[in-house]
Structure 1
Amino acid sequence: MSFLKHGKQVLAVCVTFGLCTLSAFPNGTGQASAAGRGDFALNPTPQELKISDKGFPLTPNVGIVVDKKTDEQAINEVVEALEAADVKQIVRIHAGEKVTTPVTIWVGGPSENKDSAAVLDQMGVVGPESLKDEGYVLVSKQKGKNQIVLAGKDKAGTYYAAKTFKHLIQEREGRDWIPEAEIHDWPEMPIRGSIEGFYGPPWTHEDRISQLEFYGENKLNTYIYAPKDDPYHRENWRDPYPEAELAEITELIEKAKENHVKFTFSLSPGQSICYSGDQDFALLEKKMDTMWDLGVRSYAIFLDDIDMNLSCQQDREKFAGDTNPVAAAHAYLLNRFTEEFINTHEGAERLITVPTDYSGNGPSPYRDRFAELLDKDTVVMWTGQKVVSEQVAAEEADEVHGVFKHDMLLWDNYPVNDYDRNSLFLGPIVGRDADLSKHGVAGLTANPMNEAEASKIPLYTIADYTWNPAAYDPIDSWKRSIQSFGGEAAETLKTVAENMYSSPINSTESLTLTPLIDAFWKAYVAGDADQAAEQLIAEFKKIQHAPAKLQQEMDNKKFLQEIKPYVEKLNIYGKAGETAVQYVMAQKNGHTDQASVYRKQLITLFNQSEQIPQKVGQGVIKPFLVKSALVVPPLELTLQPVIDQFWKAYEGRGGSQEAEQLITEFKELQQIPETIRKDIDNEAFLTAIDPFLQNLTIYGEAGEVALHYLMADKNGKTDEANSYKDTLKTLMMQAYQQPQEIGKEVIKLFLINSMWRDLDVVDYRMLDGVNKSRGAGQLIQYTPVYCETTRTNPWGYEITVIDGKVVKRGGNNSAIPKNGYVLSIHANDWLRDNTTIGTSIQIENGVVLVISPEEKN
């Protein structure tokens, strides 16, 4: 028997969409027949697992030993699993009775079943008493008795043990099989689940029912009801729910209980409530009491996305003397609800809230006062450094926990897409540290997409991460998610989903296609692209056929409807990609007439794709199509070697010849847009690719000017050099304002190194103002004369600079240091992507320079 910490090695065998066979395990004796298979697609990954190739069949007669306190849902799960395994007679045996069945299953830990502790002791296995809540021990041993124990630390743990048991059953010829196994498993995060907290169309009742079943299957234990566009949740929070909707909520509560999911009911009254008003509080309490009568035991009051002002005169008067009236008003309402409702309803869970200042990790006057006044038992939600956070690090959790001084619950805005309704984010969750629960974070609730079925693909990985973050492998988990969700259609689903893999938290896209495109361009530049072209065409054909295959192979009609416009575009992209490769190769091989036909076809397909606003293959497929149409391979392969030769010569004694060669290259780039506009009489296509053409024009011109400046400066022609430098600066400021489609990685870096040769400048950007309100997309500098804080909304990112060094990153409404300033940018990742703690910042004539901590000599 092999021992596998975290169970990772076992699971890894199962995930090339493959299925674990018994002979795959260490010490395997190959007992699985050729026709048999051993499915072990368990999610989430167990903490500790022993499994062997030994085992026993599930006989037609199986006994289950239960007690009065045994979790009924767990019993139901075991019965359903046995029935699916063709067990004909399931004998229910009460604890204490004699056991005579050929296979016997004890259901329930010592707190539920008085016999399970003795059986575990006989087996020599430690029970679940010392595990975390919801943990369980699952043991199956032969030794002539064919015994199985599903022992939870509590009822939820027993239920999860039953879920795991179902996945251990292996289909065999004759009788299904159970391997000898020993699993000790528990969740790392106490709170794991979702918050239906997005804007736009809420989920349907059927969506929610399906979600709750999915959560039970994947050991998620929390669902927070908070749809922004439910009028009774937000705008009309005072009004009671109609009877029909109350009936649906009742059904959701019952479904949640069946799946051991905590149903949390929430209201968002902050737009209109009088925080100190007795009448409003009575309405709030009445509505919550109605939910109590339906079975709700967990409540949340949310104060996110509201004005940081008090609209009620009574509030303004009551809290006028407080150091932060808004924070005081918010804490007053929440504390009153805890005192008068939570504490007077036995069995009520701790109140959960979202403060108005919910993103970023640092202090603010609002946060400091809110934390000081808020009841210590209230759980506080926050979204990480940003509203949509690419990373959530342990040190960040420590910081925010130190600010709020309450248990923190991460409202993770992944995979939510309400801010980008033409995208589906189907990749795994990434960028969350494995030890957040050791740094004040009680759990994670993911805000899913409006598309409920599509959300299940990333939610599967979130279940995996929150249960066992130390063993979490994003790609491995995602592959298992595709297998679980897609079933027999998994391979086709992978082709589709991997072209919707990227998101604001993960730039990786088109897992199979991207390396094939890279290999093709490298081979093309090297002069031998036939084989690479063939491989790339094969993948594009696979992409174009995948939508139709998915329709044939998959029964999930709701999911197919959700992704319909996306796969329609993917189909067109597949055809266009194939044609693009054919065009480039025909052009390269001098087949002019055939190339002309291919380019016309490519333009037609490209224009068709542009009629569909949904995004697939972001940053991969469309750029490839355009570069193919322009026959412009990646500049890293063509222009960068020439730039490298120039710098080598320039830093020596020469450079003139290399500069002329590079100037020729830049002039050729400038000529491409003019040539394309003459050759192609298709306005729709030219309009669509205009950002690419603009990049070529301005970067080509700026590159040429940069070389004239460098050579004039080197040759001591100061006036001429200064003139070129001024022109270069103007062009560079124009360039960064354009969409960056071609040239950013190569030409922009060349321009930076030309303009600021004595500094190791990482990037640059013009300020949009100083000490003014931050507008859409703007970069603003805030100095001490402005205010104590920047007074910015949550939709941005800020850095604090003291003595020219970054001392703090992230958040909004930052405190402005007396000996420094804050740079604040709206809805843009420029500051986040280009700075770290210690990064040097210089501002020259309104241009912000981000400088690497180690400057050039």
Structure 2
Amino acid sequence: MISRRTVTTFLGAGLLLSGCAPGDAPGSAGRSVPRTPKAPSIALEAVAGKALPTVSPTPQQIRRTGPDLPVPRLVDILTAEGADPRCADIVGQALRRAGAADVRVSPVGSAPRSPRPLTVVLGNAAAPPMAGMLQRSRAFSAGPLPPEGYQITAGSLGGRTAVLLAGADDDGVFYAAQTFAQLAGDRRIAGATVVDHPAMPLRGVVEGFYGKPWTHQERMDQIAFFGSVKLNTYLYAPKDDPYERDRWRDPYPARQARELAELARHAAAHHVRFTYVLSPGKSIGYNDAGDRKALTGKLRFLYDLGIKDFALAFDDVHPLPVWNSAADLARYGTVSEQAAAAAQSDLTNRVQREFADRHPGVRPLQFVPTQYSDLADSPYKKTLRRTLDSRVKVWWTGADVVPTSITSGQARRAADVWGHDVLLWDNYPTNDYDRAAGRLLLAPYDKRTPELGEHLGGLALNPMNQASASKIAEFTGADYAWNPRAYRPADSWRAAAAYLTGGNQQTTRALLVFLDTQHLAPSWSDAPWQPPAPALKARLDAVERSWRAGRKDRAVAALRAQVDALAQAPGRIRQGVTDPGFVTEAKPWLDALTLWAQALRHTCEALELRSSGRSTQATRSFTAAADVARQASAIRTLPGATRPQGTVKIADGVLDTFIQRAPQLT
């Protein structure tokens, strides 16, 4: 057996060739490695004109420090403390996709006697022998990594290659493996050094919508997806699960209990915190001994299933809860904002002391208040600020139920008003309200200040009834939450599309055409906060300008190209998107897009006929376009699949407007 000391010396010597001078950060020359998540920096460099692969979420620092390293047929993976089997699986699968034929996995302490041409070592940075390797490598920061942080470097030694993946903790090792999978491909590993960590401690998704809850298999798929994009939290809070809200006292039936236990295990394996949100607010007696016992009993039942994170939710009992027991009236008096807050605070504090503090592994509770949006102070908030256990984290939806933007000032004000660690429950891309009827919300996460993490403890996106379609917003939201200062919505949007197509460029282009038709994001009360079909609108506006300027042939040619893109998109999406759930969920919208493309084709034909002086034939084509547009406008969402039901919207305000206006172009 090769000794641990020999392995350390071998790898340390190889990694010294990574190209950083002693004491330099792996970012720009002379720039120190950021010590906290609040001071990220980004360095992207190319050697000999070769750019590094795109990594999502964007790392805090990624730099090319040498040429790409070849992936040989035979590879060793050595695992140290902190590298669970899934980490090794991720790295092994990436190496096989990159061309390795035989990947051997061994603990560092029992490394094979004959090292292979490529060795990948992964483990906790503080655990021997990783700490020794880091000390010998000039490519790494001497300072400690923040929680969930990691470092990657690649170097060469006499024809052999070595890659080191070191995490600040077990989560960091897992995230290093995820990034490595994006650096490996096409028989090469990018010659890069990465120093990375998240800007926000909590990054997740809350299944908190009304309407049909996700299925068990959809949740399993989502949780695996969350881990792959470095989201670390899943909150279980479907409004239409009776055992979460209306029948909160009752334990789950056996089958559903088994599913929850499986979800908890699955989440842990993917480094995702399964958080159960219990919503007793409509019927609980706050000062009723029986209800208090029922509440802790339900949480204990869930704990025994393997769930270790909990939230108590008192949302959607507007404007104030009613007392459900004489004991509440006797204790708190007439219902008021102060009385409601006092009752909720007393109950939450009791649960924190009598349940959370007494069960190993349970983190401090999270709390969803009745007044969960806006920034105004109130007697309710003042009472909670004063009485709620300081360890409890408070969820807030922004300055509105569906905020059009969130500024640094708003986030700072929220932290001040609540006086607790505040988390953002962001109601995007949920489509369970009237203004979202008939829509898939597929625009990228946007209009949130890069400084959000300086004032809030994290964020969770509330998705759509359509689980797979929600991945577009979830992917971009994960990118934002990890590194807000480097976040570019359009770039992240394209990366999300590529994720769903397995990187196929033709299908990715088709999917982006479709996503553009679903770009509009409505608000709760005002104008949309994301515009409808911005790319399509720009092209149709250009067609109209060319026509009015007398360049009619150019206008028709450009319109024909747009027709082809729209017409081809549904078929390519159905054949090429790797997530079958997306195709199933999007079926009404893809069907409608096919018809809208036909309507636009008739419009294009009509304009071409008009430009050649054939007015009668042009009128018939305009009429055909209007007829097909009416058919497209009549397609409805899948019954029972979304709430509320509605007619399907496709680039509304853009595509329909152009088709209606086109007959007036002369």
Fold match, TM over 0.5? yes
Residue matched to 1:27: 47
Provide the residue aligned with 1:241 in structure 2: 252
Aligned equivalent of 1:200: 211
Q: 470, 477, 484: which one pairs with 2:499? A: 484
Q: Which moved more, 1:454-463 or 1:570-579?
A: 570-579
Residue type matched to 2:516 in 1? E
Alignment-derived partner of residue 130 in structure 1: 144
**Residue type of the alignment partner of 2:477:** I
Correspondence for 1:682: none
1:60 is matched with 73
Within-5 A mapping of 1:344-743: 344-419=358-433, 420-439=436-455, 441-487=456-502, 488=504, 489-504=507-522, 506-584=529-607, 586-587=609-610, 590-612=613-635, 613-629=647-663, 631=664
Q: Partner of 1:324 in structure 2?
A: 338
Give 3-state SS (helix, strand or coil) of 1:148's partner. Answer: strand
Change (3 A) 1:29 1:616: closer
The TM-score normalised by the length of structure 2 is 0.87
Q: Deviation of residue 53 (structure 1)? A: 5.3
Which amino acid in 1 is paired with 2:501? G
What CA deviation, in whole Å up to 9, does each residue of 1:628-685 have, x standing for no partner? 24x179xxxxxxxxxxxxxxxxxxxxxxxxxxxxxxxxxxxxxxxxxxxxxxxxxxxx
CA shift for structure 1 position 463:
0.7
Distance in 1 (CA, whole Å) between partners of 2:374 and 2:27 is 38
The residue number in structure 2 matching 1:830 is none
Amino acid of the structure 2 residue aligned with 1:442: G
1:277 is matched with 288
Partner amino acid, structure 2, of 1:103: L
Indicate the structure (1 or 2) with the bigger Cα radius of gyration.
1
Q: Of the candidates 161, 169, 179, which is equivalent to residue 154 of structure 1? A: 169
Q: Partners of 1:466 and 1:510 in 2: how far apart?
A: 25
Q: CA deviation at 1:379?
A: 0.3
Shift of 1:26: 2.8
User: What do residues 318-339 of structure 1 show as CA deviations (whole Å, max 9, x unaligned)?
Assistant: 1118871111111111111111
Contact 1:310–1:316 (CA under 8 A) maintained in structure 2: no
Aligned-residue offset at 1:98: 7.7
Shift of 1:276: 1.3
Q: CA deviation at 1:547?
A: 1.0
For 2:23, the equivalent position in structure 1 comes to none
User: Distance between the aligned counterparts of 1:370 and 1:358, measured in 2?
Assistant: 12
Deviations 1:219-238 (A, max 9, x none): 00000000000111011111
Tell me, yes or no, if the aligned pair for 1:58 and 1:87 is still in contact at 8 Å.
no
Query: Which amino acid in 2 is paired with 1:350?
Result: P
**Structure 1 range deviating more: 611-620 or 125-134:** 125-134
Map of 2:63 onto structure 1 = 50
| Deviation at residue 27 of structure 1 after TM alignment | 2.9
Q: Which amino acid aligns with 1:125?
A: A
SS in 1 for 2:224: helix
Deviations 1:776-822 (A, max 9, x none): xxxxxxxxxxxxxxxxxxxxxxxxxxxxxxxxxxxxxxxxxxxxxxx
Note the C-alpha offset of 1:306.
0.6
CA contact (8 A) 1:39 1:170 kept: no
Superposed displacement of residue 591, structure 1: 2.4
- For residue 249 of structure 2, what is the amino acid of its counterpart? R
With over 3 angstroms needed to count, the CA separation of the structure-2 counterparts of 1:129 and 1:71, relative to structure 1, is farther
1:156 and 1:377 map into 2 onto residues whose CA distance is: 23
Tell whether the 8 Å contact from 2:242 to 2:248 is kept in structure 1 after alignment: yes
Distance 1:500 1:593 in 2: 35
Cα distance in 1 for partners of 2:495, 2:260 equals 32
Identity over aligned pairs, percent = 33
- The counterpart of 2:95, out of the listed 76, 82, 95, is 82
Give the direction of change, closer, same or farther, for the CA distance of 1:469–1:587 in structure 2 (3 Å limit). same
Structure 1 residues 156, 277: CA separation in 2 closer, same or farther (over 3 Å shift)?
same
Give SS of 2:68's match: strand
Distance 1:274 1:491, change over 3 A: same
One-letter code aligned to 1:538: A
SS at match of 1:452: coil
Q: Deviations over 1:482-513 (max 9, x none)?
A: 11112222122112111111212643332432
User: In 2, are the aligned partners of 1:223 and 1:262 still within 8 Å (CA)?
Assistant: yes
Whole-Å separation in 1 of the counterparts to 2:659 and 2:630: 11
Equivalent residue for 2:182, pick from 139, 142, 167: 167
Please give the root-mean-square deviation of Cα atoms over the aligned residues, in Å.
2.2
Q: In structure 2, how many angstroms separate the alpha carbons of the residues matched to 1:214 and 1:83?
A: 21
Q: 1:58 to 1:581 in 2, by over 3 A?
A: closer
From the superposition, tell whether residues 323 and 29 of structure 1 become closer, same or farther in structure 2 (CA, over 3 Å).
Answer: closer
* Aligned positions, number: 605
**Match for residue 16 of structure 2?**
none
